[in-house]
Amino acid sequence: MPFVRLFIYLVFLAGIGNAVLRPELGNPWTLYRMLAPLGLLLVILIAPQIASVVLAAFALFAVHSYALATAYRSDYSQLYPSLVHFFYIFNMLALVLFLRKTDTGFEWRFERFILALFWFLVANLLIEMAWGNVYPNLYVDESGDGSVRAFFWNQNDLAVVLCMMGWFALVRERWSPLLRIAIVGFVILILYINDSKAALMSFLLVSIPAFLMFGVVRRMRLPGFVWGIAFSLLFIAIVLLLYTLREVPISFSNERYTLDDLLFTPVNRIFSLEASSEMWGSINNRTDAAIFVLIEYFRSWGMGLGAGGSWLVLSLPEYRLGGAESPHNAILQFVVDFGFLVLIWYVWAMCWACMKMFRGRNTSNQRLKVVAILSFPLLGLSQSGAIVTNYFFWMVVTYIWLLDRPLFESLPRQTARLSTVSCS
């Protein structure tokens, strides 16, 4: 059934171009939101077991969010739109699950799809640098700072996509070395041009060092506990070094900051829950937004505010900010919306990633998972609320999560198989 596979990849493309593939600016009926339910219908007809599991999970998720929202304020103004967004995320989950289970060449095809998208994105960004953005339904950027975004809503959306492509380039040793170097270099260049500070720091300070650490561990062959002690001491040394250099100015593409501006002052204010009371400024807005949602989160006794709860907090008169409408911290947003269990799960994932990193032997898939898990907390500072409509992010996260994972073993393959063509 190659037609089904082709249609699902068409849905993926519609999701990636979600910002521009709509009748007009601001129209919620995007091409992805019209095609995705048709893809889900195909999954229901061909693999009902997969569809039933995903739909049941979404139903439980919606009931849980409704209960949290009711307990918090019984204000559903942000809950219902957020549930619509999450329905389309679960829809994407169903499509990737379906291909993962039914297409024997899925991993090969999916990563060729990622590479093709990268080169298309390169062409678009080069055209934009030369002649400006050519896509409809995007707000007009009059900053004149030379930043680019291609067919994404803003530079933050693009930054997340580029970093995830960079993860593949770092760990996929079967890709050409020149190709991997070209992708990594291009990712760094665009993040710098766009002044995407959080994404650039995530890629340079976490993704690349984590990848390099695999090689060091493989060559030195020390016991895991020795690596744990060495890593802890190195972490403390780095923090002390950064604190010593906190007043040294750092030049980004458009502005100059110090480490105190970027790291130490925001962290101190968040721990003390002291807002700056300044209406404008990217760092001030994001720090204050984090403080405000944490204040309300603690009032829920850690249970969470429900889907869209963090957006609701920042729409309240006492917490309204000049620029930020969301916390601009994806993990914080998920914890505030869905409770402390999210935090516990992610801490467990970080521990798993660290233990894997200090093992001498890891598969390419394991390395990809480790780099993704360790990189996301800092990358999540680049994008928060809008991450629910960054369908490339959810598509790739689902793909990475499913690698090496057995699924639906009871599903008869002869009724669901799309292709038995070898991709070797």
d(CA 81, CA 75): 12
d(CA 386, CA 423): 36
Which residues have C-beta within 8 Å of that of residue 89, sequence separation ≥ 6? 388, 391, 394
d(CA 259, CA 243): 8
289-337 pLDDT, tens digit each: 888 889 899 998 989 999 999 889 888 888 777 666 777 788 999 999 9
With residue 256 as reference, give the H or E element that holds it: strand 256-258
Residue 279 is predicted with a pLDDT of 56
Token couple for 401: 């999560």
d(CA 351, CA 360): 16
Token couple for 317: 């008169």
d(CA 424, CA 407): 22
208-231 pLDDT, tens digit each: 999 998 988 888 877 777 877 887
Decide: 213 and 205 in contact? Cβ < 8 Å.
Answer: no
Write the single-letter amino acid at 268. N
d(CA 150, CA 167): 20
163-174 pLDDT, tens digit each: 999 999 999 999
Could you give the angle at the alpha carbon of 187 between the alpha carbons of 201 and 183, nearest 5°?
135
Long-range contacts of 270-274 (CB under 8 A, 24+ apart): 270/294
| Alpha carbon distances (Å) from 263 to 117, 232, 239 | 34, 20, 11
Confidence band for 414, pLDDT divided at 50, 70 and 90:
very low
Sign of the Cα torsion 177, 180, 185, 186 reads positive
Backbone angles phi, psi at 405, to 5 degrees: -110, 120
Q: Is the pLDDT of residue 66 over 80?
A: yes
347-361 pLDDT, tens digit each: 999 999 988 888 878
Listed residue (144, 192, 161) closest to 133, CA to CA: 144
Residue 384 is predicted with a pLDDT of 65
d(CA 79, CA 98): 28
Confidence band for 421, pLDDT divided at 50, 70 and 90:
very low
Q: Is the pLDDT of residue 280 over 80?
A: no
71-84 pLDDT, tens digit each: 988 889 899 999 99
Please identify which residue in the block is written with the tokens 């680019």.
148
Would the pTM count as exceeding 0.75? yes
Token couple for 31: 């091409």
Q: Is the pLDDT of residue 141 over 80?
A: no
To the nearest whole number, what is the mean pLDDT of the chain? 87
Quickly list H helices, 47-134. 48-72, 79-102, 106-131
CA neighbours closer than 13 Å in the CB half-sphere of residue 355: 6
Average pLDDT over residues 113-123: 96
Which residues have C-beta within 8 Å of that of residue 135, sequence separation ≥ 6? 20, 150, 151
Residue 82 is predicted with a pLDDT of 94
Q: Is the pLDDT of residue 41 over 80?
A: yes
Q: How far is CA 70 from the centre of its chain?
A: 28
Listed residue (61, 93, 55, 56) closest to 79, CA to CA: 61
Residue 415 is predicted with a pLDDT of 42
% the chain with pLDDT above 90: 54
